[in-house]
Amino acid sequence: MKLVASWPSVNWTGVSFLQFLERTLYTTNTMSAEVIHQIEEALDDDEKEMLLFLCRDVAVDVTACNVRDLLDSLNERGNLTVMGLAELLYRVRRFDLLKRILKMDKMTVEAYLLRHPHLISDYRVLMTEIGDNLDNSDMSSLIFLMRDYMGRSKTAKNKDKGVRF
């Protein structure tokens, strides 16, 4: 009886392409000022705020109050690679910018993140996902539960402002 091993089919072109990109583009330690400018201009205020939150652990000693300063600082330190920037755009769910500016798709970034260390800490990613999944009724319930720990005047102010915890 002859045993024949059955191998799963593999798209070797895609694997080779990912390895090529990994060795060339993704390890480059500088981003052009033009790319940083395009991304900063395309993000809305909520996305910029999310980006600043996500990068707090990466840029601990940077007191950047805007995205351009943050990205410039990360770029000067060599922390803003093409894949680092792709991860940031992926985390703020701007897949259109991934495609248009960085010329890559969501699946490429996901494949890279599965095999390589992340720029953004898992804690920050989890906090943004929790924040995105909270709706107004959940927020009201959370404020109600926290009222004994925060004081009534502070919860009233936060409720009026729509502040997230």
Tokens standing for residue 39: 């991304």
Domain spanning 12-133: CATH superfamily: Death Domain, Fas (1.10.533.10)
- pLDDT on residue 12: 56
Please identify which residue in the block is written with the tokens 């990994």. Answer: 22
pLDDT at 138: 80
pLDDT of residue 161 exceeding 80, the answer is no
What distance in Å separates the CA atoms of residue 159 and residue 143, rounded to the nearest whole number? 8
Q: What is the DSSP string of 62-94?
A: ----SHHHHHHHHHHHT---HHHHHHHHHHTT-
pLDDT tens-digit readout, 41-50: 999 999 999 9
Residue 83 pLDDT more than 70? yes
Mean pLDDT of 69-84: 88
Average pLDDT across the chain, whole number: 79
Mean pLDDT over residues 144-150, rounded? 79
| Predicted confidence (pLDDT) at residue 61 exceeds the cutoff of 70 | yes
**Main-chain dihedrals φ then ψ at residue 129, nearest 5 degrees:** -65, -40
pLDDT at position 76 is 87
What is the structure's pLDDT at 146?
Answer: 80
How is the chain split into domains, by residue range?
Answer: 12-133, 134-165
The pLDDT of 89-95, averaged and rounded, is 95
pLDDT-derived band at 29 (thresholds 50, 70, 90) equals: low
What confidence score (pLDDT) does residue 154 get? 55
pLDDT tens, residue by residue, 112-135: 999 998 889 999 999 888 888 887
Distance, CA of 140 to CA of 132 (rounded, Å): 15
Between the alpha carbon of residue 40 and those of residues 65, 67, 83, 144, the distances in Å are 13, 6, 17, 37
